[in-house]
């Protein structure tokens, strides 16, 4: 195969990445919900004709590493023609959890009978039905968590299929918002299609195809070069989720990372992790793969192209029917947001044995998922609010951790107070750093946050969180970060809110969340 000019390859890499970024910008501007518009809980990516990722935006790691499996599920299940767009959210078909809805569009050019690219957009929808407003509560089976969409054509030949869209909208609490967000995702895919067709018109089909192959090969070479420098041998670690929300038994996540510098490869084995549980804490394999992709991607320089080539030298094994590779009818809502974070924590703990001076201490380790739903008295219509609340970053080998930041598998922002109070019947009473919640050490962990919300309407409040019992660990002698907590204040009564629970609250009640701090790194100097 022809070897391309490095400058030409760099231009192609930037062009395809800019397509994914522009898709994301389009989705954000057109979205209806604050969760997508303000928090940027979405991801977009570009795939080659074989469904391999060749470019992604700087969006959500938990989405991006797993999205190729959704693309594969859509391509294997459906015959996608020009103008078609597939929709799916099934966690057992490459999805993550039900609120994350993915759209897949094939990109055609006139002279080719098959797609030359695919583009995909994934967004977290603030409600997809189910037992709890916001679709992020503690359930025993996936059927309780909301609407489950197998791959199906939402758009056929450029026209939306109302026979598909209408049942989706009839199954959620906020249909107008959902319709607006879905339309924004369709628009984002159309932007990607247009830009890639323009790229093919400029470069030609054969050159585009070969540049895509060379880009994947280049990323593979970068990863192999990194792995060849790793110490050979096996490095194991374990960590625990506090419980499954129904019992108090810890959930073990275990990993063994084996480096083979001679072959410049790695094997990642999650054998020994707990069996899947009868709650929403299960992760599907796509999540475990995505977390592994993220951790190994972090070993490379920031400018390394993030695509499917990076994982060619890495094998991931996760036993079936475990908490890291659950099977139906397992509930999985928290696997995407909580278990994914613990998988990262365990992988980093293992890597800290191999390359101790490069790995940070544990970050907050929970997304502190808060959902609130009810009837907005200003409009007399249902509302569903969802947000992940940031915590402390783990201290680094050369610097303190950052306070109040989303880390690892989430890359979202907060909902600004002004946007929150405008969109929902809430009043934010306090939003601040949580003093002294970062672990001490030579370098301190970042502090968590305190978010205090007064309800201006009766509502159901649901929390999915962790790190109450097993605090974010320190490394190299650093101390752990503070555990998380939450309270419900109703009149003169103050009650703790369990990490995984749902409560009915009244107008005037206050919900206060304190998120964990990050672990410290190194022994504190005397």
Q: What is the DSSP string of 425-460?
A: SEEEEEEEE-TT-SPPSSBPPPP-EEEEEEESS-EE
List beta partners, residue 494. Answer: 489
pLDDT at position 1: 45
CA distance 256 to 350: 7
pLDDT at position 525: 82
In the chain, which residues have pLDDT < 50?
1
Strand order in the sheet with 117-124: 53-56, 42-48, 117-124, 100-107, 85-88, 152-156, 159-160
Tokens of 217: 């090969």
CA distance 382 to 385: 10
CA distance 366 to 468: 10
Contact 122, 104 (CB under 8 A): no
How would DSSP label each residue in 14-47? HHHHHHHHHHHHHHHHH--SHHHHTT--EEEEEE
Tokens of 228: 């060849």
Select from 139, 244, 143 the least CA-distant residue to 462. 139
CA distance 93 to 89: 8
pLDDT at position 141: 97
CA distance 74 to 102: 10
Q: Which helix (H) or strand (E) holds 500?
A: strand 500-505
Helix 205-227 to helix 6-30 angle (10° resolution) is 100
Select from 123, 144, 113 the least CA-distant residue to 45. 123
pTM of the model as a whole:
0.96
Domains annotated for the chain, with CATH where assigned, are: 6-220 (3.30.450), 360-526 (no CATH)
Backbone angles phi, psi at 516, to 5 degrees: -65, 155
Contact 288, 316 (CB under 8 A): yes
Q: CA triplet 491, 493, 494: central angle to 5 degrees?
A: 115
Select from 213, 191, 209, 192 the least CA-distant residue to 200. 209
Select from 443, 435, 439, 434 the least CA-distant residue to 474. 439
3-state secondary structure of 137: coil
For 330-356, the pLDDT digits (tens) are: 999 999 999 999 999 999 999 999 999
Tokens of 89: 């959210």
Using CA atoms, how far residue 282 sits from 253, 461, 478, in Å, is: 11, 22, 30
Tokens of 4: 């391309």
pLDDT at position 493: 97
Mode of pairing for the β-strands spanning 159-160 and 152-156: antiparallel
Residue 414 CA, distance from chain mean position? 15
**Helix, strand, coil percent content, the chain, rounded in steps of 5:** 30, 25, 45
Gyration radius of the chain over CA positions: 22
């Amino acid at each position: 195969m022809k070897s391309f000019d490095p400058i030409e390859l760099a231009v192609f890499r930037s062009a395809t990445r800019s397509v994914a970024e522009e898709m994301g910008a389009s989705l954000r501007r057109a979205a209806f919900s604050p969760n997508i518009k303000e928090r940027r809980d979405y991801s977009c990516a570009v795939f080659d004709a074989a469904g391999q990722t060749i470019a992604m935006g700087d969006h959500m790691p938990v989405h991006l590493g797993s999205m190729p499996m959704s693309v594969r599920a859509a391509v294997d299940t459906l015959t996608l023609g020009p103008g078609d767009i597939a929709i799916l959210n099934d966690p057992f078909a490459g999805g993550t959890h039900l609120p994350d809805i993915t759209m897949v569009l094939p990109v055609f050019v006139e002279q080719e009978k098959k797609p030359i690219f695919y583009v995909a957009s994934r967004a977290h929808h603030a409600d997809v039905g189910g037992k709890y407003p916001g679709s992020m509560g503690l359930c025993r089976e996936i059927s309780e968590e909301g609407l489950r969409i197998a791959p199906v054509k939402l758009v056929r030949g450029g026209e939306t299929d109302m026979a598909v869209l209408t049942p989706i909208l009839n199954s959620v609490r906020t249909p107008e918002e959902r319709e607006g967000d879905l339309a924004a995702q369709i628009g984002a895919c159309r932007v990607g299609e247009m830009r890639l067709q323009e790229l093919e018109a400029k470069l030609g089909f054969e050159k585009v195809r070969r540049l895509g192959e060379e880009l994947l090969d280049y990323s593979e070479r970068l990863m192999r070069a990194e792995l060849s420098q790793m110490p050979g041998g096996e490095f194991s670690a374990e960590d625990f989720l506090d419980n499954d929300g129904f019992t108090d038994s810890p959930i073990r996540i275990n990993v063994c990372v084996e480096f083979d510098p001679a072959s410049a490869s790695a094997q990642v084995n999650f054998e020994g992790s707990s069996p899947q549980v009868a709650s929403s804490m299960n992760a599907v394999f796509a999540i475990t793969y995505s977390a592994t992709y993220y951790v190994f991607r972090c070993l490379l320089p920031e400018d390394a192209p993030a695509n499917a080539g990076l994982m060619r030298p890495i094998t991931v094994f996760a036993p079936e029917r475990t908490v890291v590779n659950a099977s139906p009818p397992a509930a999985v809502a928290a696997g995407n947001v909580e278990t994914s974070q613990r998988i990262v924590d365990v992988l980093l703990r293992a890597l800290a044995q191999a390359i101790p001076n490069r790995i940070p201490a544990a970050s907050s380790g929970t997304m502190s998922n808060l959902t609130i739903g009810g009837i907005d008295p200003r409009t007399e219509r249902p509302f569903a609010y969802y947000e992940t609340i940031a915590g402390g970053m783990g201290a680094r080998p050369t610097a303190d951790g950052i306070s109040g930041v989303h880390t690892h598998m989430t890359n979202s922002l907060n909902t600004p107070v002004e946007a929150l109070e405008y969109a929902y019947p809430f009043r934010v009473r306090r939003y601040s750093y949580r003093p002294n919640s970062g672990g001490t050490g030579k370098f301190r962990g970042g502090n968590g946050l305190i978010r205090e919300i007064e309800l201006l309407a009766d509502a159901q409040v649901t929390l999915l969180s962790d790190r109450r019992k097993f605090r974010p660990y320190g490394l190299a002698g650093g101390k752990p970060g503070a555990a998380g907590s939450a309270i419900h204040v109703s009149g003169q009564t103050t009650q703790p809110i369990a990490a995984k629970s749902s409560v009915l609250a009244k107008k005037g009640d206050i919900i206060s969340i304190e998120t964990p701090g990050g672990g410290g790194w190194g022994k504190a100097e005397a």
